[in-house]
Protein backbone atom coordinates (compact mmCIF):
# COMPACT_ATOMS: atom_id res chain seq x y z
CA UNK A 1 0.00 0.00 0.00
CA UNK A 2 1.35 3.40 -0.99
CA UNK A 3 0.91 6.21 1.54
CA UNK A 4 1.16 9.59 -0.18
CA UNK A 5 1.20 13.00 1.42
CA UNK A 6 1.65 14.98 -1.79
CA UNK A 7 -0.47 15.46 -4.89
CA UNK A 8 2.58 14.65 -7.00
CA UNK A 9 3.00 11.22 -5.40
CA UNK A 10 -0.72 10.47 -5.81
CA UNK A 11 -0.59 11.35 -9.50
CA UNK A 12 2.46 9.16 -10.02
CA UNK A 13 0.82 6.14 -8.33
CA UNK A 14 -2.43 6.65 -10.27
CA UNK A 15 -0.54 7.02 -13.55
CA UNK A 16 1.25 3.71 -12.93
CA UNK A 17 -2.05 2.00 -12.15
CA UNK A 18 -3.56 3.38 -15.36
CA UNK A 19 -0.54 2.18 -17.35
CA UNK A 20 -1.30 -1.30 -16.05
CA UNK A 21 -4.82 -0.87 -17.40
CA UNK A 22 -6.55 -0.60 -14.04
CA UNK A 23 -9.72 1.35 -13.31
CA UNK A 24 -9.31 3.85 -10.47
CA UNK A 25 -11.69 4.13 -7.49
CA UNK A 26 -11.71 6.84 -4.82
CA UNK A 27 -13.17 6.73 -1.32
CA UNK A 28 -12.95 10.22 0.25
CA UNK A 29 -12.93 10.26 4.07
CA UNK A 30 -11.94 12.40 7.03
CA UNK A 31 -10.34 9.39 8.73
CA UNK A 32 -11.20 7.89 12.13
CA UNK A 33 -12.29 4.99 9.97
CA UNK A 34 -15.06 2.63 11.09
CA UNK A 35 -17.18 -0.08 9.51
CA UNK A 36 -19.13 2.53 7.53
CA UNK A 37 -15.95 3.61 5.78
CA UNK A 38 -14.85 -0.02 5.41
CA UNK A 39 -18.10 -0.77 3.60
CA UNK A 40 -17.30 1.94 1.03
CA UNK A 41 -13.81 0.51 0.55
CA UNK A 42 -15.31 -2.97 0.06
CA UNK A 43 -17.78 -1.62 -2.50
CA UNK A 44 -14.88 0.02 -4.36
CA UNK A 45 -12.82 -3.18 -4.25
CA UNK A 46 -15.77 -5.25 -5.42
CA UNK A 47 -15.97 -3.05 -8.52
CA UNK A 48 -12.35 -3.94 -9.25
CA UNK A 49 -9.24 -1.91 -10.01
CA UNK A 50 -7.00 0.41 -8.04
CA UNK A 51 -8.56 1.66 -4.81
CA UNK A 52 -7.50 5.00 -3.34
CA UNK A 53 -8.69 6.31 0.03
CA UNK A 54 -8.20 9.93 1.01
CA UNK A 55 -7.90 10.80 4.69
CA UNK A 56 -8.21 14.55 5.10
CA UNK A 57 -9.95 16.55 7.80
CA UNK A 58 -10.96 19.39 5.53
CA UNK A 59 -10.83 22.72 7.41
CA UNK A 60 -13.08 24.57 4.94
CA UNK A 61 -16.15 22.48 5.76
CA UNK A 62 -16.05 23.24 9.49
CA UNK A 63 -17.75 26.28 10.96
CA UNK A 64 -15.87 28.56 13.36
CA UNK A 65 -17.51 26.97 16.42
CA UNK A 66 -17.30 23.40 15.20
CA UNK A 67 -14.98 20.55 16.11
CA UNK A 68 -12.17 20.94 13.53
CA UNK A 69 -9.44 20.93 16.17
CA UNK A 70 -10.78 18.12 18.26
CA UNK A 71 -11.92 15.91 15.34
CA UNK A 72 -10.25 12.48 15.92
CA UNK A 73 -7.12 11.80 13.79
CA UNK A 74 -5.93 8.25 14.55
CA UNK A 75 -3.83 8.02 11.36
CA UNK A 76 -1.88 4.85 12.28
CA UNK A 77 -5.09 2.97 13.01
CA UNK A 78 -6.61 4.29 9.77
CA UNK A 79 -3.63 3.02 7.81
CA UNK A 80 -4.07 -0.40 9.47
CA UNK A 81 -7.74 -0.45 8.43
CA UNK A 82 -6.78 0.46 4.86
CA UNK A 83 -4.08 -2.24 4.73
CA UNK A 84 -6.51 -4.81 6.09
CA UNK A 85 -9.13 -3.80 3.50
CA UNK A 86 -6.68 -4.13 0.63
CA UNK A 87 -6.47 -0.44 -0.27
CA UNK A 88 -3.80 0.37 -2.88
CA UNK A 89 -3.19 4.03 -2.06
CA UNK A 90 -3.88 6.30 0.91
CA UNK A 91 -3.69 10.03 0.29
CA UNK A 92 -3.25 11.81 3.62
CA UNK A 93 -2.26 15.39 2.82
CA UNK A 94 -1.58 18.24 5.23
CA UNK A 95 -3.91 21.22 4.91
CA UNK A 96 -1.08 23.20 3.30
CA UNK A 97 -0.83 20.62 0.49
CA UNK A 98 -4.51 21.05 -0.34
CA UNK A 99 -4.70 24.84 0.22
CA UNK A 100 -1.18 26.19 -0.32
CA UNK A 101 -2.45 29.67 -1.14
CA UNK A 102 -5.48 29.62 1.11
CA UNK A 103 -8.99 28.78 -0.12
CA UNK A 104 -10.39 31.32 -2.58
CA UNK A 105 -12.32 29.31 -5.17
CA UNK A 106 -15.44 27.68 -3.80
CA UNK A 107 -18.13 25.53 -5.36
CA UNK A 108 -21.70 26.26 -4.34
CA UNK A 109 -24.62 24.04 -5.30
CA UNK A 110 -27.47 26.50 -4.92
CA UNK A 111 -30.73 25.54 -3.28
CA UNK A 112 -29.60 22.16 -1.97
CA UNK A 113 -26.86 23.50 0.29
CA UNK A 114 -28.98 25.82 2.43
CA UNK A 115 -31.60 23.36 3.63
CA UNK A 116 -31.42 20.62 6.26
CA UNK A 117 -27.85 20.57 7.65
CA UNK A 118 -27.01 23.64 5.56
CA UNK A 119 -29.40 25.74 7.65
CA UNK A 120 -27.30 25.35 10.80
CA UNK A 121 -23.95 24.90 9.02
CA UNK A 122 -23.66 27.80 6.57
CA UNK A 123 -20.90 27.20 4.03
CA UNK A 124 -20.44 23.57 5.08
CA UNK A 125 -21.48 22.05 1.77
CA UNK A 126 -19.44 24.59 -0.20
CA UNK A 127 -16.42 23.34 1.72
CA UNK A 128 -17.40 19.73 1.01
CA UNK A 129 -18.01 20.31 -2.71
CA UNK A 130 -14.79 22.22 -3.13
CA UNK A 131 -12.63 19.60 -1.43
CA UNK A 132 -14.36 16.74 -3.25
CA UNK A 133 -13.84 18.51 -6.59
CA UNK A 134 -10.17 18.96 -5.68
CA UNK A 135 -9.78 15.31 -4.68
CA UNK A 136 -11.45 14.24 -7.93
CA UNK A 137 -9.04 16.50 -9.84
CA UNK A 138 -6.02 15.10 -7.97
CA UNK A 139 -6.91 11.42 -8.29
CA UNK A 140 -9.01 11.40 -11.48
CA UNK A 141 -11.01 8.29 -10.52
CA UNK A 142 -13.51 6.43 -12.70
CA UNK A 143 -15.82 6.17 -9.70
CA UNK A 144 -16.06 7.73 -6.23
CA UNK A 145 -17.91 6.18 -3.29
CA UNK A 146 -20.04 8.03 -0.74
CA UNK A 147 -22.21 6.85 2.13
CA UNK A 148 -25.95 7.30 2.28
CA UNK A 149 -25.31 8.19 5.94
CA UNK A 150 -24.63 11.69 4.59
CA UNK A 151 -27.59 11.66 2.24
CA UNK A 152 -27.64 15.42 1.68
CA UNK A 153 -23.94 15.40 0.86
CA UNK A 154 -24.47 12.52 -1.59
CA UNK A 155 -27.30 14.38 -3.35
CA UNK A 156 -25.31 17.62 -3.56
CA UNK A 157 -22.18 15.92 -4.89
CA UNK A 158 -24.27 14.07 -7.47
CA UNK A 159 -25.67 17.39 -8.62
CA UNK A 160 -22.24 19.07 -8.69
CA UNK A 161 -20.81 16.26 -10.82
CA UNK A 162 -23.69 16.50 -13.27
CA UNK A 163 -23.64 20.29 -13.42
CA UNK A 164 -19.87 20.43 -14.00
CA UNK A 165 -19.78 17.38 -16.32
CA UNK A 166 -17.10 15.82 -14.16
CA UNK A 167 -16.06 12.51 -15.74
CA UNK A 168 -16.69 10.34 -12.68
CA UNK A 169 -19.42 8.01 -11.54
CA UNK A 170 -20.78 8.69 -8.05
CA UNK A 171 -21.77 5.55 -6.17
CA UNK A 172 -23.95 5.73 -3.04
CA UNK A 173 -23.48 2.99 -0.43
CA UNK A 174 -25.92 1.94 2.33
CA UNK A 175 -25.78 3.40 5.83
CA UNK A 176 -23.98 1.09 8.30
CA UNK A 177 -25.26 0.93 11.89
CA UNK A 178 -24.00 -0.32 15.25
CA UNK A 179 -25.73 -3.51 16.41
CA UNK A 180 -28.15 -1.44 18.52
CA UNK A 181 -29.11 0.79 15.58
CA UNK A 182 -26.97 3.89 16.12
CA UNK A 183 -25.67 5.15 12.77
CA UNK A 184 -21.89 4.71 12.72
CA UNK A 185 -20.00 8.00 12.82
CA UNK A 186 -16.51 9.15 13.69
CA UNK A 187 -18.24 11.56 16.08
CA UNK A 188 -19.84 8.77 18.12
CA UNK A 189 -16.67 8.71 20.26
CA UNK A 190 -17.86 12.06 21.66
CA UNK A 191 -20.98 10.44 23.14
CA UNK A 192 -20.40 10.05 26.87
CA UNK A 193 -22.35 8.25 29.57
CA UNK A 194 -26.11 8.41 29.16
CA UNK A 195 -25.79 10.28 25.84
CA UNK A 196 -24.82 7.06 24.04
CA UNK A 197 -28.17 5.53 25.03
CA UNK A 198 -30.10 8.75 24.38
CA UNK A 199 -28.70 8.85 20.85
CA UNK A 200 -30.68 5.72 20.00
CA UNK A 201 -33.82 7.86 19.86
CA UNK A 202 -32.83 8.93 16.33
CA UNK A 203 -32.64 5.45 14.82
CA UNK A 204 -35.70 4.32 16.76
CA UNK A 205 -37.78 7.22 15.41
CA UNK A 206 -36.54 6.56 11.87
CA UNK A 207 -37.28 2.83 12.15
CA UNK A 208 -40.86 3.83 12.99
CA UNK A 209 -40.96 6.04 9.91
CA UNK A 210 -39.72 3.15 7.78
CA UNK A 211 -42.40 0.88 9.21
CA UNK A 212 -45.08 3.48 8.53
CA UNK A 213 -44.03 4.02 4.90
CA UNK A 214 -43.55 0.32 4.26
CA UNK A 215 -46.98 -0.18 5.81
CA UNK A 216 -48.48 2.15 3.22
CA UNK A 217 -48.31 5.67 4.70
CA UNK A 218 -47.93 8.03 1.74
CA UNK A 219 -48.32 11.44 3.38
CA UNK A 220 -44.77 12.77 3.71
CA UNK A 221 -45.76 15.53 6.12
CA UNK A 222 -47.34 13.01 8.47
CA UNK A 223 -44.20 10.88 8.38
CA UNK A 224 -41.95 13.87 9.11
CA UNK A 225 -44.29 15.18 11.83
CA UNK A 226 -44.32 11.79 13.59
CA UNK A 227 -40.52 11.64 13.63
CA UNK A 228 -40.41 15.23 14.87
CA UNK A 229 -42.89 14.51 17.65
CA UNK A 230 -40.98 11.45 18.83
CA UNK A 231 -37.65 13.24 18.91
CA UNK A 232 -39.05 16.34 20.58
CA UNK A 233 -40.31 14.05 23.33
CA UNK A 234 -37.04 12.12 23.63
CA UNK A 235 -34.97 12.62 26.78
CA UNK A 236 -31.75 14.60 26.26
CA UNK A 237 -32.27 15.10 22.52
CA UNK A 238 -32.37 18.62 21.02
CA UNK A 239 -33.91 18.21 17.58
CA UNK A 240 -32.61 20.38 14.76
CA UNK A 241 -34.78 19.10 11.91
CA UNK A 242 -36.82 16.14 10.76
CA UNK A 243 -37.86 16.10 7.11
CA UNK A 244 -39.24 13.80 4.44
CA UNK A 245 -37.78 14.90 1.11
CA UNK A 246 -36.98 13.77 -2.42
CA UNK A 247 -33.58 12.03 -2.07
CA UNK A 248 -32.22 13.51 -5.31
CA UNK A 249 -33.45 17.11 -5.17
CA UNK A 250 -33.92 17.39 -1.35
CA UNK A 251 -37.22 19.15 -2.00
CA UNK A 252 -40.04 18.66 0.48
CA UNK A 253 -42.43 15.96 -0.56
CA UNK A 254 -46.16 16.05 -0.07
CA UNK A 255 -46.97 12.59 -1.33
CA UNK A 256 -44.53 9.70 -1.14
CA UNK A 257 -44.41 7.97 -4.48
CA UNK A 258 -41.22 6.33 -5.69
CA UNK A 259 -38.64 7.39 -3.14
CA UNK A 260 -38.34 9.27 0.10
CA UNK A 261 -35.48 10.35 2.32
CA UNK A 262 -36.53 10.77 5.95
CA UNK A 263 -33.66 12.63 7.58
CA UNK A 264 -32.96 14.07 11.02
CA UNK A 265 -30.30 16.07 12.82
CA UNK A 266 -30.17 16.53 16.57
CA UNK A 267 -27.84 17.36 19.38
CA UNK A 268 -27.34 14.81 22.10
CA UNK A 269 -25.34 16.52 24.82
CA UNK A 270 -22.69 18.47 22.92
CA UNK A 271 -22.64 16.06 19.99
CA UNK A 272 -24.43 16.81 16.74
CA UNK A 273 -25.75 13.65 15.09
CA UNK A 274 -27.45 12.97 11.77
CA UNK A 275 -29.35 9.90 10.65
CA UNK A 276 -31.80 8.94 7.92
CA UNK A 277 -33.73 6.22 6.19
CA UNK A 278 -33.75 6.15 2.43
CA UNK A 279 -36.65 4.29 0.85
CA UNK A 280 -36.57 3.77 -2.91
CA UNK A 281 -38.64 1.81 -5.36
CA UNK A 282 -41.89 2.17 -3.45
CA UNK A 283 -43.64 2.23 -6.79
CA UNK A 284 -46.53 4.45 -5.72
CA UNK A 285 -48.33 1.51 -4.11
CA UNK A 286 -49.67 1.38 -0.59
CA UNK A 287 -52.78 1.87 1.42
CA UNK A 288 -52.18 5.52 2.23
CA UNK A 289 -55.11 6.68 0.08
Residue 125 found at the interface with ligand AMP (CB under 6 A): no
Contacting residue, 13, 25, 26, 29, with ligand AMP by CB under 6 A: 29
Q: Compute the 3-state secondary structure of the chain and give helix, strand, coil in percent, each to the nearest 5.
A: 40, 20, 40
Residue 85 found at the interface with ligand AMP (CB under 6 A): no
Contacting residue, 91, 146, 190, 241, with ligand AMP by CB under 6 A: 146
Residue 275 found at the interface with ligand AMP (CB under 6 A): no
Contact 219, 286 (CB under 8 A): no
Residue 152 found at the interface with ligand AMP (CB under 6 A): no
* Residues of span 226-245 touching ligand AMP by CB under 6 A: none
Please tell me the distance from the alpha carbon of residue 59 to that of residue 118, in angstroms, as a whole number: 16
Helix-helix angle 7-19:124-139, to 10 degrees: 50
Contact 206, 276 (CB under 8 A): yes
* Residues of span 158-177 touching ligand AMP by CB under 6 A: 173, 175-176
Pick between residue 56 and residue 241 the one whose CB is nearest to ligand AMP.
56
Smallest distance, ligand AMP to C-beta of residue 9, A: 22
Q: Which residues contact 36 (CB under 8 A, 6 or more apart)?
A: 147, 149, 175, 176, 183, 184, 185
Contacting residue, 149, 159, 198, 218, with ligand AMP by CB under 6 A: 149
- CB-based closest residue to ligand AMP: 147
Please tell me the distance from the alpha carbon of residue 272 to that of residue 274, in angstroms, as a whole number: 7
- The number of beta carbons lying within 10 Å of the beta carbon of residue 252 is 13
Contacting residue, 118, 127, 140, 147, with ligand AMP by CB under 6 A: 147
Smallest distance, ligand AMP to C-beta of residue 33, A: 7
Residue 25 found at the interface with ligand AMP (CB under 6 A): no
Contact 154, 172 (CB under 8 A): yes
State how far the alpha carbon of 44 is from the alpha carbons of 14, 102, 160, 183, 252, in Å: 15, 32, 21, 21, 32
Contacting residue, 25, 37, 121, 134, with ligand AMP by CB under 6 A: 37
- SS3 of residue 130 by DSSP: helix
Please tell me the distance from the alpha carbon of residue 137 to that of residue 27, in angstroms, as a whole number: 14
From 2-10, 89-97, 112-120, 145-153, give the range in contact with ligand AMP by CB under 6 A.
Answer: 145-153
Residue 40 found at the interface with ligand AMP (CB under 6 A): yes
Is-catalytic flag, 37?
yes
Binding residues for ligand AMP (CB under 6 A): 29-30, 36-37, 39-40, 146-147, 149-150, 173, 175-176, 183-186
By annotation, the residues acting in catalysis are 37
Amino acid sequence: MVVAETIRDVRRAVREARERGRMVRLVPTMGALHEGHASLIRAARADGGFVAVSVFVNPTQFGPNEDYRKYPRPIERDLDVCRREGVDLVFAPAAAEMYPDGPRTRIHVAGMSETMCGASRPGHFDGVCTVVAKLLAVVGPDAAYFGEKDAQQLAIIGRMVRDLNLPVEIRGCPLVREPDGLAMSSRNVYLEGADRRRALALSVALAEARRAVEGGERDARTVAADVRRRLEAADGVALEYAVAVDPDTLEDLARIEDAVLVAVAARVGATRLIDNVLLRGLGGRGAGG
